[in-house]
Amino acid sequence: MAKVSVERSPTRADVRVPAETFALAETFDEEPEATFEMARVAANGSDRPMPFLRMLRGESLTELLGKDSSVDDATVLSDCGQCDLLYVTWSDDVCSVLDTLLGRDASMLAATGRDAEWEFELFFPTRAAMSSAYDDWEAAGLSVTVETIHGRANALGAAQGGLTDDQYETLRAAVDRNYYDVPRGATTEELAEELGVSHQAISERLRRGHENVVQEAVDDDRAEGRE
């Protein structure tokens, strides 16, 4: 039986990288409102990083992607208007940046491209790995802004707020599609269609997700004596 260590101090970091340093800078120049996010998939057989991308906002972006030097190839897998699912083969330069970004056994929890920059949620097995990664980024001349760092107690909890993977994916999609705006930017039916589940499943995920988020906030208040 493998030995399990409890002293690894896993760490989550939220970081920002300019598009000109990473990917799709030319696309953002032509379409400033463009928004992309990494599509979370259970598994894929490709050695190429971040192959699945959702196009959330922007007009006629597939043509722009075809001209962007950071993209070798892009295929539309599903056409849902402004939330197309794409399969992207990135240029060697983009792959090199990702290799540097994830070089210390980091896992990419999320990636979003908007406003000419990319926001990443990275998970490191140890705090030391995070620190070494930052040194690597500086040594490589990679422009990375670290927004927040979460330690062992909430490295994964902070990423998902006590939510299951399905709840997190659904609430994140709801926020990205302006579901909580007045009037709503998307319906539960549209969220269900995008995520490929039933309307009942979406409603259940939202209800239980809201409950978990509220419970997490109440527990935090109690822990800090704010009752």
- For the cut 70, the answer to whether the pLDDT of residue 7 exceeds it is no
Per-residue pLDDT of 35-85, as tens digits, reads 998 886 544 444 567 888 888 776 667 788 889 999 999 888 876 655 678
Task: Give yes or no: residues 146 and 185 share one domain.
Answer: no
Helices (H) and strands (E) in the chain, counts: 8, 8
| Sign of the Cα pseudo-torsion (201, 204, 210, 212, in order) | negative
Q: How sure is the predictor about 208, in pLDDT bands with cuts at 50, 70 and 90?
A: confident
Domain carrying residue 87: 11-151
**151, 180, 206 - which closes a domain:** 151
How many domains would you assign to the chain? Answer: 2
Q: At what angle do helices 92-101 and 127-139 cross, to 10 degrees?
A: 140
Task: Give yes or no: residues 28 and 139 share one domain.
Answer: yes
Q: What's the whole-number average pLDDT of the chain?
A: 78
Residue type, position 67, single letter: K
| Rounded-to-integer distance, Cα 22 and Cα 97, Å | 7
User: Does residue 3 form part of some domain?
Assistant: no
Compute the average pLDDT of residues 173-198: 84
Per-residue pLDDT of 138-172, as tens digits, reads 899 999 998 887 764 443 444 455 677 788 888 87
- For the cut 50, the answer to whether the pLDDT of residue 96 exceeds it is yes
**92, 116, 151 - which closes a domain:** 151
